[in-house]
Structure 1
Amino acid sequence: MRDWRGRLLALLMTTGLGGTALAATPEMKACRIDGIPNELQCGSLQRPLDPARPDGVKVDIHYLVVPALARNKLPDAVLMLAGGPGQSAINVASRVLPRLSRLNNRRDLVFIDQRGTGQSAPLDCPDDSKLPIGEQLEPAAQMRRIDACRAALEKLPYGDLRFFTTTIAMQDMDAVREALGVPQWNLIGGSYGTRAALEYLRQFPTRVRRTVIDGVAPPDMILPASFSTDTQAALDKLIEANAKTHPTLRADWQALLASLPRQVTVAQPLTGAAEHFTVDRGLLLRAVRPPLYQPALAAALPAALHAAATEGRFEGLFGLTTAFGSGKGMKLAMGMHFSVMCAEDAPRIAQATDAPGADFRTLDAEMYSRVCRNWPRGEVPADFYKIPPAPGPVLVMSGGADPATPPRHGERVAKALAAGHAERVQHIVVPESGHGVMGVGCVRDIVFRFIDAKTDAQALPQDAACATRIPRPVAFQPVQEGAAK
């Protein structure tokens, strides 16, 4: 182990970051990130808040480079585009790095905090994870916190919230590429990062070598409306998949909805304090959605819903909701989130053609409409909502049990990207996976082979049989009191 570390240190000292392009960037400096043992390189690039006023207010765009380990590294770095919108790419680097470790042998990995996130002109709202559960999820209380946050953000030096759109942010990403001397990126985007990747492709098609989009959120999907349709489909699929082990699950769910509103007592998952609050329909629906993103958490939903419906015990349900958002890097910069959504999605809610889910109805459309009435709205070019044919190979990936970006979105995007060049695009569906499939089983190896292929003809198609056979996690069965030990 000591010899390996010595060779790595010698490599970094000898080659800078594996080449002259990165070494020529004066802003780069040695840095360390929690969860990554190696010394890395960090930098920042000053950009105008308003692209039309280059001499006006500036924002610093921060980035992290994980240097390639090999001396003879390849020039096409990998850029990871984070989700949300509102996720910090640098904060999730330690979680993503194991999935990209093979690519890192010969390619630099780059993580850029998109403007409004992480260290790049952050638009953070106060953390509400330790607030009482009822206050966290109660709509009126949420709106009061959002309004207060917006007012505070607008007082920042960079507080003109109109200039945090995806279009402007991708111009920042290309400026970083140029500063680093990278001739072409290999883009990897997850969730909202897929929208960012598609917009980068639209604006800078010659600057992209290969593209991976995982959990596709197209620019024209109108998220507040599609949320209802897609979450309903994921919940129905969960109920159907557990029909044998939990035959009363659908009846339990309907009975639970019919029993609302009701007073409950629950221990706050993070503090343990007993809390008394009212569960209404909206609060229940908001609590059910997060576990559906991850099949491992969704496996415990049947037992949690049964306990709530038949025994009035809600600890399991709210514990699952809290568990989803507790991982490193999961917190979103909500000011950036609403700046994007209020510019790109909310103005088009009335044009949505998705049929609302039977249970979720217009819950999200109403929430975003309320927030965006007072949120400053950035300008979005008409071409933003168009998806031109792909300039190079694109690997599209979807989880069949995804409650936010299921395969129907990936299929439509794949068809648009492949227009006239079907050989450039492949859509891989992992039927029993949730939101984001790149970390599931063999998928990381598929991504490596796709990007590492020497020619476009070798990049696609990829054999994905290993991924399509991954089963849904077995439903959790609570240990019964008095059961044999």
Structure 2
Amino acid sequence: MSSRTTSSRRPARRLTAALAAATSGALIGCVAATPARAEAGHDVPIGTVARTVGDARFEPGPCPRTADPIPELGRARCGTLTVPEKRAANTGPGDPRVAGGHGGRRITLSVAIMPAESGTPAPDPIVWFAGGPGDDAVSEIPMALAGNLNRDRDVVFMSQRGTYSATPELTCPNIDRFNARALGLVSNAPSTGRLYVEATRECRDRVAAQGANRSTYNDIESSADYDALRRTLGVKKWNVFGISYGTHLALNYMRLHPKGIRSVGIDGVLPPSIAGGAVTWKAAREGFDGLFKACADQPACNTRYPNLKATFLRLVSALEANPITTTVTVPVHPDPVKVVLDGSNLVAWLTSATHVAEGVPRSIDELAHGNPQRIAEQLAGGKYSPQAIGRVAHGLVYGIFCSQWTPYESRADVIRGGRRAFPSFPRSMLANAPQLAWLHDDCRAWDVPPAPPSVRDVTRSDIPTLALSGGFDAQTAPSNGAYAARTLSRSTAVTIPYVAHVVFADSPCAQQITTSFFDHPSTPDTSCLAGLQPPQFDIAP
């Protein structure tokens, strides 16, 4: 899940890369690859024929620009989908804008289709739903291919509306730069909240200057975009694989446009019916507890770092009362970086650091003994990384959060969720849930109407579904997979132990289960779970 403070799979939704220096980005393009074969059930491979269906048109063409080089695009079939920004069916009473299907504004979404490795691919492709909200699907091609997702099927990537390779592109680098500077501020000070809102207003004005209708960047319109893509590509049935926020979109897509879906995989599950600040507190507690238990169960770790959980909880309260200010240098930034390590920043650090679990006990122990440098360097390295600047479509981020989340969850609800998860935390921390600092204030500035309440309905379906979770997932909670699966009558819920958010990115076992699921949706092969081992924690001398 993405937000003001994290990015979806930056990787693994915002993460291992968020803790390390990243290489600088470069813009690239490519020409759509010449098809070498025909798809089963198609006269020509999907993505090579222009087609208009209703108010949507797919047009083959060059591959999209990307922030980092993606060599795999050299063999992709690419193009664009053009759709109304606002569809007639979604026009509310009194809306002054003309619906896109009747002469209104149209937007363009980039499409890249990675061909299957198999010489005899299955006829039903997989469509990838990116994380975030706000991450660009095309940028996640390397992750999908590293997990062999295109072994037997073509995999379709489309930039969600507003994202990096879409037109308009609703990124707001000022938000990302502010997030980096905010490391030097006390997280929960009212003055910090005012600065958050100032940055949000600047982003709002930038989006407005592009002529974008902020109220159309949501799950309802995005789901219709994907249904339009399937129809314009001429695909009768396809499979869906969503990661992080992409699971939120996938569950709404299943509910709104079930026709044409063969099966659905969701990894790092965020059900729309419970999305918001309270569930991020629950996720932090479950992910942290999974990591602390793994250390406690490992004799060497437990001996070297006894009572690690209690130490962490004590440090959060102590730092919230008396923050530590330090200065660090990171390879990705030329100047020294000021970091205020308070309770909220410590929680934010661990939410991401579960992706590099081996070093967490040592880092907490060093902090307990007065040395905050390792944690501060990791926080600064993530926020100042080139991968954290100008990549996330904050226009889509706020479109989701401010129309689908905050209208249906009060600040008091968030505080109650925080108190349930962490009863020892100071009240000053609880309104600003992990990954969602000052969200209600930001959403008042963003100023979009609530989405229909049905956007938070529980998804009930008999479409075969695989719900994957990670035992260390501090971003979307291991228990969310089972929660979503309970109303999906043909579902399999699997938790991969010792892995953080979005297990497909980091676990060969998760990759094996996923590919077997798309081959046999009723009976995925989960035998690899039996051989999984906990991480070997860094035992400092």
TM-score, normalized by the shorter chain, greater than 0.5: yes
CA gap of 1:74–1:460, structure 2 versus 1, over 3 A, is: closer
Q: What displacement does 1:163 show?
A: 0.5
Counterpart among 488, 496, 518 of residue 451 in structure 1: 518
TM-score normalized by the length of structure 2: 0.76
Count of aligned pairs: 454
Query: Quick one: structure 1 residues 268 and 391, their matched pair in 2 at CA, closer, same or farther if it must change by over 3 Å?
Result: same
Determine if the alignment matches structure 1 residue 168 to structure 2 residue 227.
no
CA distance in 2, matches of 1:89, 1:329: 16
> Residue 6 of structure 1 corresponds to which residue in structure 2?
none
Give the distance between the partners of 1:465 and 1:203, measured in 2 at CA: 34
Q: What residue identity is the alignment partner of 1:438? A: F
Alignment CA distance shift 1:30-1:41 (3 Å): farther
Question: Could you tell me whether the CA contact under 8 Å between 2:272 and 2:456 is conserved in 1?
Answer: yes
In structure 1, the residue matched to 2:401 is: 341
Counterpart of 2:115 in structure 1 is 67
- 1 CA distance for matches of 2:33 and 2:397? 42
Q: Which runs of 5+ in 1 are unaligned?
A: 1-8, 419-423, 454-458, 481-485
Contact 1:288–1:321 (CA under 8 A) maintained in structure 2: no
Do the aligned partners of 2:399 and 2:448 also contact (CA within 8 Å) in 1? yes
Is 1:29 the counterpart of 2:100? The answer is: no
Would the alpha carbon gap of residues 301 and 144 (structure 1) be closer, same or farther in structure 2, given more than 3 Å must change?
A: farther
Tell me the amino acid that sits aligned with residue 224 of structure 1: G
1:405 — aligned with what? 476
Task: Name the stretch that deviates more: 238-247 or 172-181.
Answer: 238-247
1:290 aligns with 2:343: no
1:15-37 Cα shifts (integer Å, max 9, x gaps): 49984253322721354873334
Aligned pairs for 1:1-80 (under 5 A) are 12-13=35-36, 15=38, 19-20=43-44, 21-25=46-50, 27-31=59-63, 34-37=69-72, 38-52=74-88, 53=99, 54=101, 55-70=103-118, 72-80=120-128
Shift in Å at residue 468 of structure 1? 5.2
Write out per-residue CA displacement over residues 276-305 of structure 1, whole angstroms, 9 at most, x where no aligned residue: 45433333333332212x1xx132122222
- Cα distance, 1:272 vs. partner? 5.7
Cα 1:283–1:70, aligned 2, differ >3 Å: closer, same or farther?
Answer: closer
Q: CA deviation at 1:13?
A: 4.5
Distance 1:197 1:130, change over 3 A: closer
Structure 2: runs of 5 or more not aligned: 1-31, 52-58, 89-98, 297-301
TM-score normalised to structure 1 length: 0.85
CA distances 1:309-335 after superposition (whole Å, capped 9, x unpaired)? 312x32211333355675969942222
**Relative contact order: is structure 1 or structure 2 higher (C-alpha 8 Å, sep ≥ 6)?**
2
Q: How does 1:15-414 map to 2 (within 5 A)?
A: 15=38, 19-20=43-44, 21-25=46-50, 27-31=59-63, 34-37=69-72, 38-52=74-88, 53=99, 54=101, 55-70=103-118, 72-101=120-149, 104-120=150-166, 121-126=168-173, 127-128=176-177, 131-132=180-181, 134-135=183-184, 138=187, 139-140=192-193, 141-158=195-212, 160-243=213-296, 244=302, 245-247=304-306, 249-250=308-309, 252-253=311-312, 254-255=314-315, 257-259=317-319, 260-268=322-330, 270-271=332-333, 273-292=335-354, 294=355, 297-311=356-370, 313-322=371-380, 326=385, 331-350=391-410, 354=417, 355-358=420-423, 359=425, 361-364=430-433, 367-414=438-485
Deviations 1:118-143 (A, max 9, x none): 22222111142895563488544443
Equivalent-residue separation in structure 2 for 1:229 and 1:51 (angstroms): 36
- Render the CA deviation track for 1:154-213: whole Å, top value 9, x for unaligned: 21122x211001111110111111111111120001111111111111112121001111
Structure 1 letter corresponding to 2:49: A
Tell me the CA shift for residue 371 of structure 1: 0.8
Q: CA deviation at 1:87?
A: 0.8
AA in 2 matched with 1:23: T
User: Residues 466 and 286 from structure 1, CA distance in 2 versus in 1: closer, same or farther, beyond 3 angstroms?
Assistant: same
Q: Deviations over 1:404-459 (max 9, x none)?
A: 222321112111111xxxxx211111122211122312221221122123xxxxx3
Give, in angstroms, the shift of residue 231 of structure 1. 0.6
With 430-439 and 83-92 compared, the bigger mean Cα shift is at 430-439
Percent identity for Structure 1 against Structure 2: 24
- 8 Å CA contact retained: 1:190, 1:215: yes
SS of the counterpart of 1:80?
A: strand
What CA distance in whole angstroms lies between the structure 2 residues aligned with 1:445 and 1:255?
A: 39
The equivalent of 2:524 in structure 1 is: 462
Q: Are 1:339 and 1:376, in contact at CA under 8 Å, matched by a contact in 2?
A: no
Q: How far apart in 2 are the matches of 1:75 and 1:137? A: 54
**Following TM superposition, by how much is the alpha carbon of 1:89 offset from its aligned partner in structure 2, in angstroms?**
0.3
Contact persistence 1:234–1:403 (CA under 8 A): yes
Equivalent position SS for 2:241 = strand
